[in-house]
Structure 1
Amino acid sequence: MRPAAARQGRGSAVLPDPHPDRPRGRLPPGLAAVINALFAGLRWTSLRLRLLLVFSLVALVAAVSASGIAYWLNREAVLTRTQEAALGDFRQEMQDRAAALPADPTPEELQRTADLMAGSAPGYSVLLLDERPDGRTVYGAAGPDAFRLEDVPESLRRAVNDRQKATAAHDAEYHMYWQRTKPHGKPYLVGGTRIVGGGPTGYMYKSLAQERDDLNTLGWSLAIATVLALLGSALLAQVAARTVLKPVQRLGDAARRLGEGELDHRLDVSGNDELADLSHTFNKTAEALEKKVADMSAREEASRRFVADMSHELRTPLTALTAVAEVLEEEVDDLDPMIAPAVTLVVSETRRLYDLVENLMEVTRFDAGTARLVIDDVDVADQVTACIDARAWLDAVELDAERGIVARLDPRRLDVILANLIGNALKHGGSPVRVSVRVEGEWLVIAVRDNGPGIPEEVLPHVFDRFYKASASRPKSDGSGLGLSIAVENAHIHGGEITAANAEGGGALFTLRLPVDVGKVIAGGDAQE
């Protein structure tokens, strides 16, 4: 008798972790410290972090791919070598020993043969069985594991007992089959074949625990190699990012300093790469910008000096003209009716020109940065009342202000602000003009509301622009177009602001906000006691 020809089957087993006590979800303290050092100071939007992530992702994909391929190849090699050795030895033992048994071996003969087969090749268990004509089955089992017929998968038993037709490739009626199983969570290789010509059927049962442990050790080694490769790539990314981004950071710092007004700042250029070209371009741009700003500053200074000198030179003749105009105004009733309108026009235009010159001189002071505050304790209600009374607006203005509100500010400049806001409201909105005064925390709030149609939406963004006229059909008016802009400049020098809006129910609403104590807000010598 002879054993069946060998044929491999296919099976699989999940190999458990050989280190079940290893803590999961935690990094070793040393590794955690390295990772924290790598990511220290990084923002999620920084280019350095993106470079680090790209390097790490590439290294991770490469390491995982290489480790996975290496693990799969080693796993197949280890398992194939083990099962080929075991199955080859088992087949040989079946041919040498089981085939030599008589046609109806006794249980003792089967057991002795099984002992010899298991003893000649330690490492797997052997199960021999022979079916008698009366239906009884005789067994013989030996080996390191308690191996029974129930441990053999049903599919494998059917395949072993399935008689095949003889072919040119396989002339035997019965073939050898194998399968990997995992009873009770432990991996095993089960193989079986049957002696041709009525001999016994044999099964072998080999534990794959050692191979599982070796493969787990290999898996851990590859995992550690992957982590080390990832950390190495992160370090390389840090070095590369520092090398590449350091010139970019210097360029960013230089641009920031340039934006802060240091127009003479330049970059040190080294090398001839793209970053060096960018530094050259930055230096040329900064140089051109410095020259452009210097030219603009010179022209602006010249224009400001011209306006200031012109205004100063105009004050002396305007003072004389104003005096003459006042005399003519007193005599206008005695003049010829044909001459009186001309005299009235000359008087009004002379006063308008005088106001324009005064406003221009005030604007030049703000532009030159020479405007200063003279701070004093001011009763706000009295100050508003004095402003209204001095301009004969008592009948046209309603005041809502509590007595006793005292603020530390410049009373002259507050009078200028109030005069411009209330005068603008009377001129363009109509009476009655309501002025309310209140204190909100550390802020003095004065609201001026007129009784007019309000300010068109397209005009609101420009009401504080110099020489801006809301109506193009009235380019010439009693005002100079500088009143509101001067009011805003006076509010800013106090550390406050003025806003314009349309009030609910109609009318324009200008709101002045000033610090209650300007001395605590203004610094740098802009205020005087």
Structure 2
Amino acid sequence: MSLRLRLMLVFALVALAAAVSASAIAYWLNRDAVLTRTQNAALDDFRKSLQDNTGSLPLTPTCPELQEAADRMAATSQKYEVLLIDKVTGGGSCAAPSDRDLFTLEVVPESLRKAVNRERPVTDSNRYPYHLYWQRITLDGKPYLVGGAKVIGGGPTGYLLKSLDNERADLNSLAWSLGIATGLALIGSALLAQAAASTVLRPVQRLGDAARRLGEGKLDTRLQVSGTDELADLSRTFNRAAESLEKRVEELSAREAASRRFVADMSHELRTPLTAITAVTEVLEDEAENLDPMIAPAVQLVVSETRRLNDLVENLMEVTRFDAGTARLVLDDVDVADQVTACIDARAWLDAVELDAERGIMALLDPRRLDVILANLIGNALKHGGSPVRVAVRTADDSLVIEVRDHGPGIPEDVLPHVFDRFYKASASRPRSEGSGLGLSIALENAHIHGGEITAANSPDGGAVFTLTLPRGTATESEPDDGDGSGADGDGDGSSPGTAEGNAR
């Protein structure tokens, strides 16, 4: 649930609770006031009318006399019905109602009749033996007030029946009015919540947008700050953090650029003396049989280390091109099986590699860079896993998949996340190896420039499996070789013919 919706919901719930509570209190206060006023007016009028109209009756009136008195009592402005009960001349008792169809003795609750006829002892705190009692009842779904009292001194017992239907209608109108007011309060709270949410969340939204732009690399992103509240302080903190981050990134970028320039310049500067040294070592290698046996091992060491240094310089130059973004693809439609076979044959690996690839699988890619990837993956498998190495080529949807599997001990789980890291050595105690530790990282960069990926895993049957996935067709436009060493002449391919470098396992 969004923050805006939660804020509006909280506002609505608070407003609803407040409106319902206020409406309920107002309703019950008005209800009590209306009913009490009507009830008191009717009972006071009934008490006075009972005294006035029964005081002139004889001690034992006749039934018509009771009826006449009841009719007179019912004719007041309070509009209630009257029932008088008394002993009459000739014996027996008479019940005289003002409306025989509506008000009879059966309408009066039994508990009320008992209370009216119960004589209480007269004391200092109770001056009269009989009192006026009342009760609210419902007849045929309509509310009524029933009251009763006995005339002191042997007079009749009188009851009244007052309709409360008008009061109920008034209270229903009041309830509807309060309900409408509650609804309006709820709508008003929703609008207020919307306004408050917009006021509060707009700076938060701007802060979120600024944070996304900052995450996308737009380090010059800043927020306009106004006010002195907490959100303004947060915006100022964001601006300070963004400014500090921009300065830090500029410093790191400058250092990184300087490092790349240093590596590139160093590699170029080393090529000239290395060319001369390589020529000399080739001559020494050709004359190795004629050299003193005591000198021959030293000459062979110089030759191998010169070649290794030359490979390292070429690899560093290729890495520099990737870091600088100057590496380019020279695309061509190639038969993948022929390309893999050519890579294996050029390095004399035919006896150590099993190839499972059908001819006719065509793909648009850079043949030289594919050769670099395959040389590094297969060479790494041969060096660390031993032969036979199995290379399988297949297609999956619009992708080309090449799996290189060895039958060695596999890759330790703590090494797997780092096999493509530059200069990573699996054993810190043996930092020196035949490779430079750049082979697999160069292979991965060459896969990325094609829009592909390389993954490393351990096979359940033993051994390591490197999986190269490349698109069979690419949207990257073929560009001519601009002299950056990415052409097919083998310069800077990360692996010279006959060798392959990978991160040591």
Q: Same fold (TM over 0.5)?
A: yes
Q: Which residue of 2 aligns with 1:413?
A: 369
Point out the more displaced range, 504-513 or 155-164.
155-164
**Alpha-carbon spacing, 1:526–1:93, altered in 2? closer, same or farther (3 Å):** farther
Gaps of 5+ in 1: 1-43
**Alpha-carbon spacing, 1:373–1:208, altered in 2? closer, same or farther (3 Å):** same
Residue 112 of structure 1: which of 43, 54, 68 is its match? 68
Normalising by the residue count of structure 2, what TM-score does the alignment of the two structures yield?
0.89
**Alpha-carbon spacing, 1:214–1:144, altered in 2? closer, same or farther (3 Å):** farther
Task: Establish whether residue 501 from structure 1 lines up as the match of residue 457 from structure 2.
Answer: yes
Q: Deviations over 1:422-449 (max 9, x none)?
A: 1111111111111111111121111111
Map residues 503-518 of structure 1 onto 2, 5 A cutoff.
503-518=459-474
Q: Deviations over 1:476-514 (max 9, x none)?
A: 111111111111111111111111111111111111111
Q: Deviations over 1:338-370 (max 9, x none)?
A: 212111211111111111111111111111111
Gaps of 5+ in 2: 482-505
**Alpha-carbon spacing, 1:82–1:487, altered in 2? closer, same or farther (3 Å):** same
Q: Which residue of 1 aligns with 2:503?
A: none
Secondary structure of the residue aligned to 1:179 is: strand
**Alpha-carbon spacing, 1:98–1:397, altered in 2? closer, same or farther (3 Å):** farther
Q: How many residues align structurally? A: 481
Secondary structure of the residue aligned to 1:448 is: strand
Asked if the contact 1:307/1:364 (under 8 Å) is kept, the reply is: yes
Q: Deviations over 1:440-459 (max 9, x none)?
A: 11211111111011111111
Q: Considering only aligned residues, what root-mean-square deviation do their CA atoms show, in Å?
A: 2.3
Asked if the contact 2:331/2:478 (under 8 Å) is kept, the reply is: no
Asked if the contact 1:123/1:144 (under 8 Å) is kept, the reply is: no
Secondary structure of the residue aligned to 1:458 is: coil
Normalising by the residue count of structure 1, what TM-score does the alignment of the two structures yield?
0.86
Asked if the contact 2:330/2:478 (under 8 Å) is kept, the reply is: no
Map residues 197-276 of structure 1 onto 2, 5 A cutoff.
197-276=153-232
**Alpha-carbon spacing, 1:511–1:132, altered in 2? closer, same or farther (3 Å):** farther
Q: Which residue of 1 aligns with 2:391?
A: 435
Q: Which residue of 1 aligns with 2:34?
A: 78
**Alpha-carbon spacing, 1:104–1:285, altered in 2? closer, same or farther (3 Å):** same
Map residues 283-294 of structure 1 onto 2, 5 A cutoff.
283-294=239-250
Task: Establish whether residue 88 from structure 1 lines up as the match of residue 77 from structure 2.
Answer: no
Q: Which residue of 1 aligns with 2:445?
A: 489
Q: CA deviation at 1:60?
A: 2.5
Map residues 359-398 of structure 1 onto 2, 5 A cutoff.
359-398=315-354
Q: Which residue of 2 aligns with 1:354?
A: 310
Q: Which residue of 2 aligns with 1:45?
A: 2
**Could you tell me how far apart the structure 2 residues matched to 1:428 and 1:502 are?**
13
Task: Establish whether residue 172 from structure 1 lines up as the match of residue 100 from structure 2.
Answer: no
Residue 126 of structure 1: which of 82, 92, 102 is its match? 82
**Could you tell me how far apart the structure 2 residues matched to 1:136 and 1:168 are?**
35
Q: CA deviation at 1:140?
A: 1.2
Secondary structure of the residue aligned to 2:140 is: helix
**Could you tell me how far apart the structure 1 residues matched to 2:113 and 2:289 are?**
138
Map residues 14-29 of structure 1 onto 2, 5 A cutoff.
none
Residue 238 of structure 2: which of 257, 282, 297 is its match? 282
Point out the more displaced range, 284-293 or 267-276.
267-276
Asked if the contact 1:308/1:361 (under 8 Å) is kept, the reply is: yes
Which amino acid in 1 is paired with 2:211? Answer: A
Asked if the contact 2:60/2:89 (under 8 Å) is kept, the reply is: no
Asked if the contact 1:187/1:208 (under 8 Å) is kept, the reply is: yes
Point out the more displaced range, 470-479 or 282-291.
282-291
**Could you tell me how far apart the structure 2 residues matched to 1:486 and 1:363 are?**
7
Residue 94 of structure 2: which of 109, 131, 138 is its match? 138
Q: CA deviation at 1:134?
A: 10
Task: Establish whether residue 423 from structure 1 lines up as the match of residue 384 from structure 2.
Answer: no
**Could you tell me how far apart the structure 1 residues matched to 2:269 and 2:372 are?**
23
**Could you tell me how far apart the structure 2 residues matched to 1:250 and 1:294 are?**
25
Q: Identity rate of aligned residues, in percent?
A: 73
Asked if the contact 2:62/2:88 (under 8 Å) is kept, the reply is: no
Secondary structure of the residue aligned to 2:151 is: strand
Residue 102 of structure 1: which of 42, 58, 63 is its match? 58
**Could you tell me how far apart the structure 2 residues matched to 1:375 and 1:229 are?**
70
**Alpha-carbon spacing, 1:109–1:132, altered in 2? closer, same or farther (3 Å):** closer
